[in-house]
């Protein structure tokens, strides 16, 4: 039997596990870190991410994590040697219900108070700016031109290669099947191929699988998987400019944007929680019909491929970045819905501080797992895309 010793073992080799590993080794001086990945590095939700980043959130901590993370992305090439291919083409959130407009205006005020340039646009302004799109039922929307997207895989590669240089071990095809614990603390784990890992600190960064991994330690991690699908057209122009923002209708749940010369169509309608990436047979047709209502020229576009993956949802759509009490040595960083890529730089740093026993540089207590046992639940994040 192979036996490994590590100060910290991370379960999950996605963008969150990689960022946490790098931050432990680089800023906390903990270099004997092992990352156990059941398949290949980045093969989970990270592979499906479109690399979108945005400052627009309905909760303040979300905006603050974006401010910190996007600053790291801006300096990424210098620090890590990988160009994250940042493109700032903006996000627009539009709405057709008064209550949604009230929410968007509150988000805009909060973002502006935090120094982010988010504009509120009346319907007529939206029509002038984006004439290819029908705003017929929309009342208005918010636009942040500094939102954008980057290459998830370049950022993942940057974290993994720097972490390796610092001594972190990444073990692929290493599924953790048992967590060893006594009554009060973790002691290690076993992988499917029989490797025994001895450690006193375990970070669960298993994305949508974090609930299942929690079960291995007999702790409840309320993260559920929800399949998501993005349809990508062939190269398509027909009146749709090359650089458009992602336009998200928060009431119809449709999002339209660009990926290179293609148009991307996504729908956030609630789906059933499951690990299989199965969608109803009429799913694509429904999304395409909705999209044609908004952008009529899309009736001439053909779908080239689709991109599927799992969103990892907690009951309030905010993540868990936390110790998992009462088990000593167990931590969790998961449940990022559709924004795990964009917040990975900041949360990787925060969870590394927690694991090292330092005071986190930002108050992240509202993401503690204990909130799900409390009487009062935190306000649900409203902007899920």
Ligand X SMILES: Cc1cc2nc3c(=O)[nH]c(=O)nc-3n(C[C@H](O)[C@H](O)[C@H](O)COP(=O)(O)OP(=O)(O)OC[C@H]3O[C@@H](n4cnc5c(N)ncnc54)[C@H](O)[C@@H]3O)c2cc1C
Provide the mask over 345-364, with x wherever binding to ligand X is found by CB under 6 A and - wherever it is not. Answer: --------------------
N-term to C-term CA, the chain? 44
Site mask for ligand X (CB under 6 A), range 282-311, x = bound: -------------------------x-xxx
Q: What track of x and - describes contact with ligand X for positions 321 through 340 (by CB under 6 A)?
A: -------------x-x-xxx
- Please tell me whether residue 367 binds ligand X under the rule CB under 6 A: no
Using CB under 6 A, which residues numbered 13 to 32 contact ligand X? 13-17
- CA distance linking residue 163 with residue 16, whole number of Å: 13
Q: Is 213 in the site for ligand X (CB under 6 A)?
A: yes
Query: How long a stretch of residues is the chain?
Result: 385
Structure-token match 């370049």, residue found: 154
Dig out the tokens for 85 from the structure: 């291919």
Could you tell me the smallest distance in angstroms from the CB atom of residue 142 to ligand X? Answer: 18
Distance from the Cα of residue 368 to its chain's centroid: 17
Minimum distance of ligand X from residue 246's CB (angstroms): 9
Tell me which stretch binds ligand X (CB under 6 A): 46-54, 112-120, 269-277, 296-304.
46-54
Smallest distance from the beta carbon of 102 to ligand X, in angstroms?
A: 26
**What 8-state DSSP symbol labels residue 377?**
P
Residue 211 engages ligand X in binding (rule: CB under 6 A): no
Residues in 153-192 that interact with ligand X by CB under 6 A:
175-176
Instruction: Provide the minimum distance between the beta carbon of 266 and ligand X in the complex, in angstroms, as a whole number.
Output: 7
- Residue placing its CB nearer to ligand X in the complex, 130 or 311: 311
| Residues 16 and 205: beta-carbon distance below 8 Å | yes
73 interacts with ligand X by CB under 6 A: no
State the minimum distance, in angstroms, from the CB of residue 52 to ligand X: 3
Structure tokens, 189: 């784990």
Q: What's the maximum distance between 2 C-alpha atoms anywhere in the chain? A: 68
Instruction: Print burial letters for 251-280: b (CB count within 10 Å at least 16), e (below 16).
Output: ebbbbbbbeeebbbbbbbeebeeeeeeebe
Residues 107-136 that bind ligand X (CB under 6 A): none
Bond preceding residue 326 cis, omega within 30 of 0: yes
| Distance of closest approach, residue 287 Cβ to ligand X, in angstroms | 13
Residues 76, 84: contact at Cβ < 8 Å?
Answer: yes
Nearer residue to ligand X within complex by CB, 63 or 206 = 206
Binding status of residue 36 toward ligand X by CB under 6 A: yes
Token representation of residue 154: 């370049």
Contact indicator for 150, 53 with CB cutoff of 8 Å: yes
Tokens of 149: 């997207």
Distance, CA of 347 to CA of 345 (rounded, Å):
6
Q: Does 271 bind ligand X (CB under 6 A)?
A: no
| Residues of the shown chain interacting with ligand X in the complex, contacts defined by CB under 6 A | 11-17, 36-39, 43-46, 48-52, 175-176, 205-209, 213, 228, 230, 307, 309-311, 334, 336, 338-342
């Amino acid at each position: 039997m192979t036996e490994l010793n590590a100060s910290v073992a991370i379960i999950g080799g996605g963008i969150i596990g990689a960022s946490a590993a790098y931050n432990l080794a680089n800023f906390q001086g903990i270099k004997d870190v092992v990352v156990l990945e059941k398949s290949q590095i980045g093969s989970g939700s990270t592979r499906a991410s479109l690399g979108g980043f945005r400052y627009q959130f309905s909760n303040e901590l979300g905006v603050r994590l974006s401010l910190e993370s996007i600053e790291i992305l801006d300096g990424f090439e210098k620090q890590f040697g990988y160009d994250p291919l940042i493109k700032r083409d903006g996000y627009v959130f539009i709405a057709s219900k008064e209550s949604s407009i009230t929410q968007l205006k509150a988000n805009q005020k909060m973002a502006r108070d935090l120094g982010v340039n988010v504009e509120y646009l009346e319907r007529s302004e939206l029509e002038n700016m984006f004439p290819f799109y029908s705003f017929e039922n929309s009342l208005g929307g918010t636009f942040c031109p500094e939102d954008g997207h980057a290459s998830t895989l370049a950022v993942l590669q940057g974290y993994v290669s720097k972490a390796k240089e610092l001594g972190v071990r990444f073990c692929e095809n290493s599924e953790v099947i048992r967590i060893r614990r006594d009554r009060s603390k973790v002691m290690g784990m076993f992988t499917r191929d029989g490797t025994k890992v001895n450690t006193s600190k375990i970070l669960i960064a298993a994305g949508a699988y974090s609930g299942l991994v929690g079960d291995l330690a007999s702790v409840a991690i309320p993260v559920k998987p929800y399949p998501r699908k993005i349809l990508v057209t062939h190269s398509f122009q027909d009146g749709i400019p090359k650089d458009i923002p992602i336009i998200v209708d928060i009431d119809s749940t449709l999002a339209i944007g660009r990926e290179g010369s293609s148009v991307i169509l996504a729908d956030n309608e609630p789906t059933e929680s499951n690990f299989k990436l199965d969608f109803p047979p009429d799913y694509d047709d429904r999304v395409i019909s909705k999209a044609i209502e908004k952008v009529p020229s899309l009736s001439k576009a053909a779908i080239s491929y689709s991109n599927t993956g799992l969103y990892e949802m907690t009951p309030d759509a905010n993540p868990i970045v936390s110790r998992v009490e009462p088990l000593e040595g167990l931590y969790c960083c998961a449940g990022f819905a559709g924004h795990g890529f964009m917040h990975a730089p900041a949360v990787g740093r925060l969870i590394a501080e927690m694991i090292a026993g330092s005071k986190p540089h930002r108050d992240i207590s509202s993401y503690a797992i204990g909130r799900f046992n409390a009487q009062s639940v935190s306000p649900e994040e409203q902007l899920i895309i």
